[in-house]
Amino acid sequence: MSLRDTSIAIITYHMIPNTRYWGASQRMYFLANQLESNGAKVSVLHGNYGNYNIYDKVKKYQSYAVDIKPRFIQDYQERMQNTQLKSSESKIHSNRGIPKYLVSVALNYAKKVYRMLESTLYNDFNYIGFIVTFWNRAAMSILKDLIISEETKVVIISGPYFTNFSLIKKIKKNFPHIKVVLDYRDPWNLLKRGSYISRSKERRYIELSDLVVMFSSKFEHDMIKQYSIPSYKTAVVYNGYDRVVWEKMKATKAHRQKSNRMIISYVGSHITFENGSGRDPERLISAVASSENNEKLQLNLVGCNNMPEDLQNAQLAEINYLPIVPHEKALEIMYTSDILIVLGTDEQPSNYTLTGKVFDCISSGNYILGISNDLDVDYVKLIEELNVGVGCKNIITDIRSRLDNCFDLWEKNLLVPQSNTDVYEYSREYQNSILVEKMQSIMAVSVNERQ
């Protein structure tokens, strides 16, 4: 059954231009546009953090920025992305005539109570469950009108925030014929070990769903085991890379000719030189600087929030600290590098970590070095399974050893991935086609049931 002329509603909390976070918008942005290109009629309901026209993206779908009621919660949410929030709070607290230490004690106690309740009832990211609950009420009112006026057949709920998944209960109660797809972009209770309440909620949402979309095979395996989900009810859809942008860039940029330096690039977002940040490249820098080949190495760090306090390593090797650059420029840097780094520096990383950046690295055709404190993380295992690079521990000696091995291969013009994988399979277009096919299947079941 084709999805042409099928009315589909997507619920996703972050969506440009009403958020600063393009990363949190990408998955549903590309899916909505692809569904429209396939002939479906798509409406996207999302949260409203204000209007940020900072991304040059064209949408084909109809979008609805849903405000929270009561209004003071909506105002607070909009201020969440305002850099002046902390200073305005400090002014409020300084004019109460109450000793600052008492205010501090009271606030810390209230925060602990709030987070305990959030973790127990919602277990959602950033302790936002209560706010999303209020947003759900406003969104459901609009969704009801859409379902009736547009004759909506499928609703896709993408989490986080996972509190949005609770909408499935009201949808199924009011419109039992609607097919509901739950789209996981991150683990929920598998990652944060939720309470009995949050786990019970998750089990119920899955039971009510018609299709559960997972972001990796490992996550799918563990979810099926945890919640006894029938395998026919699940699909694995990777985030993938933007094929159109990559092909456009490759068509206008010749691949870099080999130079007298091996170029290593770590292209990330919000790279921070702080221990515990999860994106601290200090050990990578030290490994490059201390290599016996350091004079022939160049390290590009793209997407830096700040600079390291100690810059002496820059005297031992060519190290370039670059801020966040436009997406096309970032891809160009990746394409013209010799080695691409996928880095996670959490001391105890989640094994489900599968950053979307790894798919851009795969698309580049260059050698990939996956660095983590646990080699069982998904992105390291994928890199090695596809034979497009290697993984190593986030230890200076290990990183240096890998880079020195790569340098030996580079000098012999042998530093190339050995994979025969069809790169197109890891594009968003191909990955979303897997979801489209699954949605067609559940729609066909619906037609057969009516017959």
Mean of the pLDDT values across residues 56-67?
A: 92
CA pair distance 154, 132, nearest whole angstrom:
22
Please, which contacts does 402-411 make with residues 24 or more away whose CB atoms are closer than 8 Å?
A: 402/369, 403/264, 403/287, 403/288, 403/291, 403/293, 403/297, 403/339, 403/369, 404/291, 404/292, 404/293, 406/262, 406/338, 406/339, 406/367, 406/369, 407/262, 407/291, 407/293, 407/296, 407/297, 410/262, 410/338
Judge whether 112 lies within some domain.
no
* Same domain as 201, residue 132: yes
Residue 13's pLDDT band, with cuts at 50, 70 and 90, is very high
Q: Which of 42, 14, 50, 378 is nearest to 160 (CA)?
A: 14
Mean of the pLDDT values across residues 410-438?
A: 92
* Same domain as 289, residue 419: yes
Domain containing 197 equals 7-73+127-240+429-450
CA pair distance 375, 357, nearest whole angstrom:
17
Residue 396's pLDDT band, with cuts at 50, 70 and 90, is very high
CA pair distance 4, 276, nearest whole angstrom:
48
Mean pLDDT of the chain: 89
Residue 98's pLDDT band, with cuts at 50, 70 and 90, is low
165-212 pLDDT, tens digit per residue, is 999 999 999 999 999 999 999 999 987 678 999 999 999 999 999 999
In this prediction, residue 451 carries a pLDDT of 46
Residue 398's pLDDT band, with cuts at 50, 70 and 90, is very high
Say yes or no to pLDDT of 50 above 80: yes
Burial of 422 (0-12, 13-18, 19+ CB in 10 A): exposed
Judge whether 106 lies within some domain.
no
216-264 pLDDT, tens digit per residue, is 999 999 999 999 999 999 999 999 999 999 999 998 887 777 889 999 9
* Same domain as 175, residue 61: yes
Alpha helices, DSSP H, located in 180-242: 189-192, 196-208, 217-227
Residues 6+ apart with CB under 8 A from 119: 127, 192, 194, 195, 198
Judge whether 80 lies within some domain.
no
Judge whether 97 lies within some domain.
no
Alpha helices, DSSP H, located in 291-427: 327-335, 357-364, 378-385, 396-411
* Same domain as 150, residue 65: yes
Structure tokens at 10: 């997507």
* Same domain as 318, residue 174: no
Judge whether 399 lies within some domain.
yes
* Same domain as 176, residue 187: yes
Burial profile 385-398: b = 16 or more Cβ within 10 angstroms, e = fewer: ebebbbbbbbebee
344-375 pLDDT, tens digit per residue, is 999 888 899 998 899 999 999 999 999 999 99
Say yes or no to pLDDT of 97 above 90: no
* Same domain as 331, residue 269: yes
* Same domain as 386, residue 414: yes
Q: Supply the CATH number for residue 311's domain.
A: 3.40.50.2000
3-state secondary structure of 279: coil
* Same domain as 201, residue 271: no
Place of tokens 């909390």: 13
Say yes or no to pLDDT of 400 above 90: yes
Helix or strand holding residue 266 (H, E):
strand 262-271
Judge whether 183 lies within some domain.
yes
CA pair distance 428, 421, nearest whole angstrom:
16
- Provide the domain count of the chain: 2
* Same domain as 444, residue 409: no
- Which region among 39-43, 398-402, 446-450 has the lowest average model confidence (pLDDT)? 446-450
Say yes or no to pLDDT of 90 above 50: no
Torsions phi, psi of 241, nearest 5? Answer: -110, 160
Residue 421's pLDDT band, with cuts at 50, 70 and 90, is confident
Say yes or no to pLDDT of 449 above 60: no
* Same domain as 253, residue 188: no
**Spacing of C-alpha 201 from chain mean position:** 23
DSSP sequence for 92-121: HHHTSSS-HHHHHHHHHHHHHHHHHHHHHH
Judge whether 13 lies within some domain.
yes
Judge whether 86 lies within some domain.
no
Residue 82's pLDDT band, with cuts at 50, 70 and 90, is low
* Same domain as 273, residue 148: no
Say yes or no to pLDDT of 89 above 50: no
326-345 pLDDT, tens digit per residue, is 888 999 999 999 999 999 99
